């Protein structure tokens, strides 16, 4: 029995709009929106409803999937593997509160529900998110990855100090045989305080026996691409995988400038790699290798890996990409609080965010260039919310080059707090008649235990989108091509829910509002099983 056959009878679908045949779910959907035009002189608003018919096709067979993490031995990578093994082998453990059972709390796909409808009394009916359509079970993921440090994963969980001691002890026998593949290290892109960790690098030059100083070859970057490609192929073949996903959870790199003739087109970026250009970063190498192998690539750090040339390369190769930067604690809360204030007609004037943490990510971010990458990704999360309200923020009242909200972000490294990141935020807003409102939030979070569920969700949903295709149907009900379906666009904007600075299609602004991002995912799952987009009009109780 295939995965799809075991799930087919459990898929709740509306036969008026959907059908299942040969392990394929086919869905018809009419997308509706409104084109709005505003006369700049009279301010008169005109509206024009539009409709577009689509047919979606989803392969219900869940493939055998592998995940390759860049930064496998770091806090996130080692915690990710720990979570998979603890749940797969049902490893219980003790902490000061008593016996604990493994779980996937914090994962939207594994631990959240979705409203399916109502019962005959008008009560909401919620079902697990992962019960709607077949998704990869995280316990079944095959895991490996690269790291610039050679420590095995049993040593890594001890070094990271994220997990309870009892759980570490029980996991170590399972983890000691996981050894990171050799990675790539170009010293200019991450903080020099990471230099001593770099002892497991493909591009390391044998050290001078007299000085003992390590040196790294940065003059054969195309060879580095080919070696990473070979690693991906070997992992896929050795484990007989149907699908492999590569995800960057390594140190934050500094941002790179967009340079005409270097990284602005797919041809230029490939040539720049072959010519060993100084602005080709390790993340560029990994992303290029994955794209050329038609392997999805996710950027979980804030650097601008996806320069225009790489996005164009992904489009040309029809390879899925997503980024940038995991949206876990402080920034996720900020997207919700800012939306609440602006939607309530309250005007945020300033948002001050202060963080301190003591893990290796914090150590790397203590370097200004790497911090700047993080600052950019964190600051953009309020942009679309602010732009949505020109009553509070009239566009003609913002001085050119100025910012509608004074938004300050500070990150400091403090070794003592370890992985327990401390975030303190102040939202200072204007009220009516000269009044003001101040909201202060103190948030202590275990960084890797928030980030790891995001990795799980990103991997599961990326695999899901690799099975989804669609085609347009014209207003007369005629399909563009009865046989050909298009894959979803390579830039997976649907994954924005988990990312601070989401990529989107050229010409479209990203959506950062957490509620709108979640709504898009819920409604996609609903349309695939033949249900309309969810709304909360609730006429059954308001109009009776």
Q: What pTM did the predictor assign?
A: 0.91
Determine what percent of the chain is predicted with pLDDT higher than 90.
Answer: 66
Task: Output 211 or 391, whichever has higher pLDDT.
Answer: 391
Task: Return d(Cα 131, Cα 107) in angstroms, integer.
Answer: 14
Q: Which of 361, 374, 378, 457 is catalytic?
A: 374
23 is catalytic: no
**CB hemisphere CA count around 90 (13 angstroms):** 0
Q: DSSP class of residue 493? A: G
| Token couple for 337 | 């609080």
How high is the pLDDT of residue 124? 92
Put residue 361 in one of left, alpha, beta given phi > 0 → left and psi -120 to 50 → alpha. alpha
pLDDT-derived band at 196 (thresholds 50, 70, 90) equals confident
Judged against a pLDDT cut of 80, whether residue 365 lies above it is answered with: no
**Residue 333 burial (C-beta neighbours within 10 Å; 0-12, 13-18, 19+):** middle
* Residue 33: both structure tokens together: 């929106």
Q: How far apart are CA 36 and CA 32, in angstroms?
A: 13
Count helices and strands (H / E) in the chain. 16, 21
Backbone angles phi, psi at 152, to 5 degrees: -70, 165
| Model confidence at 427: pLDDT above 50 | yes
Tell me: pLDDT of 4 over 90: no
Task: Express each pLDDT in 26-61 by its tens digit.
Answer: 999 999 999 999 888 888 999 999 999 999 999 999
Query: Is residue 174's pLDDT more than 90?
Result: yes
Catalytic residue among 182, 347, 378, 500: 500
Residues 6+ apart with CB under 8 A from 307: 256, 258, 263, 264, 269, 284
Q: Which of 157-166, 211-220, 355-364, 483-492 has the lowest mean pLDDT?
A: 355-364
Helical H segments across 60-107, by residue range: 75-88
Angle between helices 266-274 and 282-292 (to 10 degrees): 120
The pair of structure tokens assigned to 222 is: 């195309």
Q: Can you give the C-alpha Rg of the chain in angstroms? A: 24
Q: Is 374 a catalytic residue?
A: yes
Closest of 337, 336, 432, 339 to residue 388, by C-alpha: 339
Confidence of residue 8 (pLDDT cuts 50, 70, 90): very low
Give yes or no: 55 in active site.
no
When the pLDDT of each residue in the chain is averaged and rounded to a whole number, the result is 90
CATH code for residues 330-447:
3.30.360.10
SS3 label, residue 285: helix
Model confidence at 5, pLDDT cuts 50, 70, 90, reads very low
- Is-catalytic flag, 421? yes
Strand-pair category, 18-21 with 181-182? unpaired
To 5 degrees, how large is the angle CA 490–CA 491–CA 493?
Answer: 130
Instruction: Out of 3.40.50.880, 3.30.2360.10, 3.20.20.70, 3.40.50.300, select the CATH number for domain 3-62+450-540.
Output: 3.30.2360.10
Annotated catalytic residue, options 236, 334, 347, 421: 421
Evaluate whether the domain defined by 65-100+134-322 bears CATH number 3.40.50.720: yes
Catalytic residue chosen out of the listed positions 325, 361, 425, 447: 325
Residue boundaries of the structural domains of the chain: 3-62+450-540, 65-100+134-322, 330-447
What H or E segment, with its residue span, contains residue 348?
strand 347-357
Q: Using one digit for the tens of pLDDT, what is the confidence trace for 197-212?
A: 999 999 998 776 555 6
Model confidence at 401: pLDDT above 60 = no
């Amino acid at each position: 029995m295939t995965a799809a056959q075991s799930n087919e009878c459990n898929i709740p679908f509306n036969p008026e709009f959907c059908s299942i045949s040969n392990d394929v779910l086919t869905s018809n959907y009419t997308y509706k929106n409104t084109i709005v035009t505003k006369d700049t002189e009279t301010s008169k608003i005109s509206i024009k409803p539009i409709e577009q018919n689509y047919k979606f096709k989803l392969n219900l067979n869940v493939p055998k999937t592998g995940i390759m993490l860049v930064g496998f031995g770091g806090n996130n990578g080692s915690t990710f593997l720990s979570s998979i093994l603890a749940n797969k082998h049902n490893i219980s453990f003790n902490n000061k509160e008593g016996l604990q059972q493994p779980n996937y709390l914090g994962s939207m796909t594994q631990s959240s529900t979705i409203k399916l409808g109502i019962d005959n009394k008008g009560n909401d009916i919620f079902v697990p998110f992962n019960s709607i359509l077949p998704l990869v079970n995280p316990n079944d993921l095959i895991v490996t990855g690269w790291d610039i440090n050679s420590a095995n994963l049993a040593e890594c969980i001890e070094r990271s100090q994220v997990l309870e001691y009892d759980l570490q002890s029980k996991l170590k026998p399972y983890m000691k045989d996981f050894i990171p593949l050799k990675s790539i290290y170009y010293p200019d892109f991450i903080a020099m305080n990471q230099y001593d960790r770099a002892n497991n690098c493909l591009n390391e030059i044998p050290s001078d026996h007299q000085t003992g100083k390590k040196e790294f070859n940065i003059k054969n970057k195309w060879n580095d691409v080919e070696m990473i490609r070979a690693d991906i192929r070997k992992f896929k073949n050795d484990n007989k995988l149907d699908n492999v996903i590569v995800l960057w959870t390594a140190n934050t790199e500094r941002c790179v400038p967009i340079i005409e003739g270097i990284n602005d087109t797919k041809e230029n970026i490939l040539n720049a790699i072959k010519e060993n250009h100084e602005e080709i970063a390790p993340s560029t190498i990994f992303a290029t290798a994955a794209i050329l192998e038609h392997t999805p690539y996710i950027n979980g750090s804030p650097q601008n890996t996806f320069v225009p040339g790489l996005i164009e390369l992904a489009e040309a190769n029809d390879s899925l990409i997503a980024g940038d930067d995991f949206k876990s604690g402080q920034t996720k809360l900020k997207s919700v609080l800012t939306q609440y204030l602006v939607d309530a007609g309250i005007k945020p004037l300033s948002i001050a965010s202060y963080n301190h943490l003591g893990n290796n990510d914090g150590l790397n971010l203590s370097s200004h260039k790497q911090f700047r990458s993080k600052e950019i990704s964190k600051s953009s999360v309020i942009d679309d919310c602010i732009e949505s309200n020109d009553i509070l923020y009239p566009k003609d009242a913002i001085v050119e080059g100025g910012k509608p909200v004074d938004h300050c972000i500070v990150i400091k490294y403090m070794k003592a707090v370890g992985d327990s990141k401390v975030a303190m935020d102040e939202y200072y807003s204007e009220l009516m008649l000269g009044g003001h409102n101040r909201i202060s939030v103190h948030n202590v979070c275990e960084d890797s235990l928030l980030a790891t569920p995001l990795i799980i969700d990103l991997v599961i949903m990326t695999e899901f989108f690799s099975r989804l295709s669609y085609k347009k149907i014209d207003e007369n009900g005629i399909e563009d091509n009865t046989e050909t379906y298009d894959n979803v666009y390579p830039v997976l904007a649907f994954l924005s829910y988990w990312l601070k600075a989401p990529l989107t299609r050229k010409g479209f602004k990203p959506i950062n509002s957490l509620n709108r991002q979640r709504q898009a995912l819920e409604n996609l799952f609903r349309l695939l099983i033949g249900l309309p987009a969810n709304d909360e009009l609730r006429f059954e109780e308001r109009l009776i």
